Amino acid sequence: MRKLIFLASAAVLLTTFAFGQDKSATLEQVLTLLDQKSASFKSLQADFEWDQYQKVVDEHDIQRGVMYFRRVGNNVDVAADIQVPEHKKLLFTGKDVQVYSYRTHQTATYPSKNRDEIESFLALGFGGRGHDLQKNFELRYAGAETIDGRPTYKLELTPKSQKIQGMFRLVILWIDQQTGMSLQQKAMEGQYDYRLAKYPFAAMKVNPVKLSPDAFKLEGK
């Protein structure tokens, strides 16, 4: 389940025309920026690369594909079309996470009693209000950093609940200063193990006219 949560981990966040590329931004300024972009957020399509690293075996597990996000009321639905190394489809539109395997033609369901808790990972960085992050995390603004040639704001999130701490001790977000999108996320599981997610800016489509009609459908559903 921990790996499946990261399979869209997430992932919300969002003109820094108000702040431009201000390297002296404060935490409050960054959260306000995310609040502003969340108000206009409707949907997003982004390519992704997920790298799960385990130091004990010095091994990287790489997954690539396309993610989709859409706002439904106050919630954000998430879908991930995982294409490498094995074709799978992840869907989170209610309280449960569903994963369909194109190899076995089977759907696995992972129920949750708390949608907010799951959404805090799957939609982390895409579509949520900045100040809402304070419900589940202690926040720290860690300055500015360049990712793939683009200036970003760096936020460090420490989980408040023991359940989330059991999965990640720290989550780091790199938020594009111009668009407000999360370009990179790193979830630290322990001292050395981590899960790194990259969302290339060039492949992002924010509020596209229309997402694929099959983006939020599972095979056979």
* pLDDT tens per residue across span 21-74: 444 579 999 999 898 988 888 999 999 999 999 999 999 999 999 999 998 887
Q: What is the chain's mean pLDDT, rounded?
A: 84
Say what the pLDDT of residue 16 is. Answer: 28
C-alpha closest to that of 121 among 86, 67, 78, 70:
78
What are the backbone angles phi and psi of residue 148, rounded to the nearest 5°?
A: 50, 40
pLDDT-based confidence at 125, cuts 50/70/90? confident
CATH number of 2-204: 2.50.20.10
User: Residue 112's CB: how many other CB atoms inside 10 A?
Assistant: 16
pLDDT-based confidence at 221, cuts 50/70/90? low
What are the angstrom distances between the C-alpha of 12 and each of 17, 145, 193, 195?
17, 18, 24, 17
pLDDT at 135 over 70: yes
Looking at 10-19, 45-54, 165-174, 191-200, which range is the least confident one? 10-19
What are the angstrom distances between the C-alpha of 188 and each of 85, 117, 138, 183, 210?
23, 18, 15, 17, 35
The three-class DSSP label of residue 176 is strand
> In 55-211, at which residue ranges do the beta strands (DSSP E only) sit?
59-72, 75-84, 88-92, 97-101, 106-110, 137-147, 150-159, 170-176, 182-188, 194-198, 205-206
Looking at 108-112, 118-122, 135-139, which range is the least confident one? 118-122
Its pTM stands at 0.82
